[in-house]
């Protein structure tokens, strides 16, 4: 029986997992990276977002680019379009324009 191995694997953090948290204030000229991490830290960022009903968007390519941005720095202009599209989609979601069946949390 291999249950012990399976349960131990389930408890181990995914070392490849990465996560970024962005914040945007009306006084900011662009969103800022307010949290980022790998492995257990990434899992905690995602868990905290979900606990607070914050949408979690999954995009390995975008996260890889954002991981290069220092903590508390604004995102670079090259990423404005990608982030703006996500924010516009979230705005439509909050206003009820997007079908909730299409949402992945």
CB 12 within 8 A of CB 32: no
Indicate if the pLDDT at residue 98 is higher than 70.
no
Burial of 94 (0-12, 13-18, 19+ CB in 10 A): exposed
* CA distance linking residue 45 with residue 19, whole number of Å: 7
Report the share of the chain in percent with pLDDT over 70: 80
Closest CA to 58 of 93, 16, 105: 105
Q: How much is the pTM? A: 0.74
Average pLDDT over the chain, rounded to whole?
84
Q: What are the respective helix, strand and coil percentages of the chain, to the nearest 5?
A: 45, 15, 40
Share of the chain above pLDDT 90, in %: 56
Q: List pLDDT tens digits, range 21-37.
A: 999 899 999 999 999 99
């Amino acid at each position: 029986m291999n249950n012990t191995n399976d349960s131990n694997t389930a408890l181990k953090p995914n070392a490849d997992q990465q996560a970024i948290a962005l914040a945007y204030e009306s006084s900011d000229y662009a969103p800022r990276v307010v949290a980022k991490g790998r492995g257990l830290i990434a899992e905690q960022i995602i868990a905290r977002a979900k606990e607070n009903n914050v949408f979690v968007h999954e995009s390995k390519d975008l996260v890889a680019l954002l991981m290069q941005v220092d903590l508390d720095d604004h995102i670079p202009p090259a990423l404005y379009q990608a982030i703006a599209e996500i924010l516009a989609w979230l705005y439509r979601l909050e206003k009820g324009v997007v079908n909730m069946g299409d949402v992945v949390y």
